[in-house]
Structure 1
Amino acid sequence: MMQSLYTASTGMLGMQTQIDTTANNIANVNTIGFKKSRAEFADLMYHVMEYAGTSTSDTTKSPTGIEVGLGVRPTAINKIFSEGSLKQTDNNLDLAITGRGFFKMELPDGTQVYSKNGSFKIDQNGTIVNSDGYTLVPQIVIPPDATNINIGTDGTVTVIQPGQTQATQIGQIQTTNFINPAGLHAMGDNLYLETDSSGQPVEGIPGVDGLGTLRQGFVELSNVELVVELTDLITGQRAYDANSKIITTSDEMLQTTNNLKR
């Protein structure tokens, strides 16, 4: 059987992975805090018919070998954590991190998760939560009579209450960083989970020790660039088509061989 059939099939499967990744990027172009992914590939093992340096005579050696590749395989789908554009919303509970860092939240079962989506809300108890009701960590409770909420670039949360002229500090938002953010597990819902590859979380005050500062009244948009993604979609489709043509050509060659007569 011709090896080209199997080699081309690996190419089609690889390009399908790239197109699926690109499709997910495009689908989330307007998702707050979304980080795009990039499919990465490597060539497979080689069928070696002759090694380079094989002796061709008593005094000469082959300068090159004869090695036929067996296709391609996906090696990783890498998250790109470059900063997205900031959009002003004028909502006091919308926060964007300018620089490195994640917001830390807690699931109902106590699991600690991380997110770049700073679109927060207040629940029935005045606690700052995300759109799914997951509590921001450390927990911050807004007094019910607060007339104004201010969040500084260092995460300091202050409020003004009736009858007061001075702002009262009620808490401080911290951010978390990882030595390898690409190693985080993407759970969906704009949430990430710590893994062995991401390294231990490093928490701190925004603006200190390399952590980004906070911007109140802004959200960080997706870092997906449509022009780049559409270009990748076209090249992936063309590569898929080219690999399918290889299968067609190999099939025609086999058909020609089967039609040979003595």
Structure 2
Amino acid sequence: MIRSMFSAISGLRNHQTMMDVVGNNISNVNTTGFKSSTTVFQDVLSQVLRGGGAANQELGGTNPAQVGLGSRVAAITTNFGQGALQRTGRATDLAVQGDGFFVVNQAGQELYTRAGSFSIDALGRLVTQEGAFVMGWQSDAAGNVNSNGAIGQIQVPVGDLVAPVASTEIALGGNLPSNAAVGASIVNSVEVFDTQGNPISIRHTFTKTAADTWTVASEYTLADGTTGAAGADSTIVFDGAGEIDAGASTINPLNTIPAPAGTIDLFLGDPGGANRLTQYGELSTVAVLSQDGSAAGSLQSFSVSQEGLVVGSYSNGRTRAIGQIALASFANPEGLEKVGGSNYRSTMNSGLAQLGTAGAGGRGLLSSGTLEMSNVDLAQEFTNLIVAQRGFQANSRVVTTSDELLQEVVNLKR
């Protein structure tokens, strides 16, 4: 009777622990990145009343007779299944689709989390809502990221400036009409930039001088209104198929624009390639396709790619990599220790953190503008709540019944 009472007491304790776990799961049903837990029970040592006997020629074998001594909590396991993604629209809200954890540094301690509700602090650093630094790799001045190096803080340089890029090439393409009369002209223009980022307007005038032959005269206009020839006239000769005859053509660079502008080459496309300059029929579609220069620009916004690359958009239309967010994976994620704030700490049984980029090494991809919600299944948790309640009631009834039996024993002597 005493054994049954103590067994029931262990059951009460265990079901109370189960209630605590279920209650914690339900309380975190809307916690970003939360992973639910499950309680696992097992029995404890049993008292052997009679040992097992071996079979012989005269008697058969006998099984051991044992009385259990109650139960205990074997484990509280964490379910790392994917939670639903909720769209927020904030550029700094990130969710991991698949395996992996964000790496954060909180007061010098490296922690791991699935909660991607980040923000930018006053110094431009990417931080969690608790102020922990989001770790990754910062790019160099050219926008290159070395993901094989040591991780550090990700910083978005608010107000960052990119230097101007001097134009060195203008790409022309489209079609000049083969039926145009000699002396006909077609004009287009493009804005290029000198080494200081000052804009220069270049005007191209295509004039047909003979059958299948055109000249290109280029004129510059500076910001102060100064104009002049941008270079010697070029001659473009087409063959009978409407393609540029490279041997007969003379394409001169634009090399007479005043300093600080440099020499600018004219590119008319590769033979047989896309967007090359041709001479077919009546079509008149010649145009400037691109130029490789830009003015100075300041950082306007940034975005995060699926691979965790933080890309800044500048006022001059250019983009540049700012950094890349690191993800960590573990051989045994269930071995991680919860430390609060939706953060985890590695343990001896979780294995070492394997750092890398999203989408590589079994790590999932990032989804920008979304958050991973809790993976708590309310229907399952309420079912577990009923199971825990009934288990607690049953064990309490065992205690009551054992007490009644003891009372009967005491009442034997009256």
After TM superposition, the structure 1 = structure 2 runs for residues 1-262 of structure 1, keeping only pairs within 5 Å, are 2-54=2-54, 59-108=58-107, 110-138=108-136, 139-145=153-159, 146-162=299-315, 164-261=316-413
Structure 1 position 261, deviation (Å): 4.2
The C-alpha deviation readout for 1:88-125, integer Å capped at 9, x for no partner, is 111100000000000001112x1111100001000000
- Amino acid across the alignment from 2:158: P
- Cα distance in 2 for partners of 1:242, 1:122 equals 53
Extract unaligned runs of 5+ from structure 2: 137-152, 160-298
Report the secondary structure of 1:84's partner residue. coil
Structure 1 position 77, deviation (Å): 1.1
- Amino acid across the alignment from 2:337: H
- Cα distance in 1 for partners of 2:383, 2:413 equals 48
Report the secondary structure of 1:137's partner residue. strand
Report the secondary structure of 2:406's partner residue. helix
Report the secondary structure of 1:147's partner residue. strand
- Cα distance in 2 for partners of 1:147, 1:24 equals 42
Structure 1 position 132, deviation (Å): 0.9
Structure 1 position 53, deviation (Å): 2.7
The count of aligned residue pairs is: 259
Structure 1 position 54, deviation (Å): 5.0
- Cα distance in 2 for partners of 1:219, 1:53 equals 62
Structure 1 position 148, deviation (Å): 2.2
Structure 1 position 2, deviation (Å): 2.4
Structure 1 position 142, deviation (Å): 1.4
The C-alpha deviation readout for 1:211-253, integer Å capped at 9, x for no partner, is 0000001100001011101100110010000000001001111
Structure 1 position 254, deviation (Å): 0.9
Normalization by structure 1: what TM-score?
A: 0.95
Which structure has the greater CA radius of gyration?
2
Structure 1 position 58, deviation (Å): 5.9
- Cα distance in 2 for partners of 1:140, 1:250 equals 63
Does 134-143 or 175-184 show the bigger shift? 134-143
- Amino acid across the alignment from 1:175: L
- Cα distance in 2 for partners of 1:180, 1:112 equals 17
- Cα distance in 1 for partners of 2:376, 2:110 equals 26
Which has the higher relative contact order, 1 or 2, with Cα contacts under 8 A spaced 6 or more apart?
A: 1
- Cα distance in 1 for partners of 2:374, 2:53 equals 52
Report the secondary structure of 1:4's partner residue. helix
What is the percentage of aligned positions where both structures have the same residue? 39
- Cα distance in 2 for partners of 1:143, 1:136 equals 15
- Cα distance in 1 for partners of 2:348, 2:64 equals 41
Structure that is richer in strand per residue: 2
Extract unaligned runs of 5+ from structure 1: none
Aligned-pair Cα RMSD in Å: 1.4
Structure 1 position 158, deviation (Å): 0.4
